[in-house]
Amino acid sequence: MSRWEPDARRRLERASLELFAERGYDTTTVAEIAERAGLTKRTFFRHFADKREVLFGGQEILSGLFTEAIADAPASAAPLEILNDALVAIAPVFALDRLDLVLRRQAIIAAHADLQERELHKAATLKAVMVEGFRARGLSDLAAGVAAELGQLAFRTAFFRWVSAAGREFTDIAAETLADLRTAATQVVR
């Protein structure tokens, strides 16, 4: 059994998503995941509370990256510029060698109503994190709300374009998405 710990989380994630696809999400056990990853159950539980968190743990990482990007932007930065910085910051989560994992995760969630509800709940958390970040920069409640709604739309759009575009880098897609969003938002708010 490999003891190369830094990679353990990624190996557990890959093993989980393979097994969910092969045997079904409901019937796969943590013991099977650990075995496939060549690790112990104890190691699994050091990284994830349960098998559901394999699917949703990444969203906490995303929320953290958004929070940092919004807090660290220069005082003069406009909200849409800050959203651009945030999408650049999350790009490592959407590295090209993770595309197959991301697609498997989407397929599993699409097949389970309770996981879809959880996904919506996590999306609401991400939005709340953005509202807080923009408020902390001095935006009014409503302006922070608008910035967060646009942020979520930018993220979702860039994400879907990335999974649909065969092998293009997330950072390139993010930049295009932000430019398109600026055009669209200007049309709507006229």
Binding site for a second copy (CB under 8 A): 78-80, 116-118, 120-121, 124, 139-140, 142-143, 145-147, 149-150, 152-153, 157, 180-190
Q: How far is the CB of 149 from a second copy (least distance, A)?
A: 4
Beta carbon of residue 155, minimum distance to a second copy (angstroms, whole number): 12
Contacts of 77 by beta carbon, 8 Å cutoff, 6+ apart: 85
The angle formed by the CA atoms of residues 155, 76 and 65, to the nearest 5 degrees, is: 35
Cβ-based nearer residue to a second copy, 33 or 70 = 70
Which is nearer to a second copy, 19 or 73 (by Cβ)?
A: 73
Least distance (Å) between residue 167 CB and a second copy: 22
Return all residues near 16 (Cβ < 8 A) that are at least 6 apart: 28, 33, 51, 54, 55
- Kindly tell me which of 30 and 153 has the beta carbon lying closer to a second copy: 153
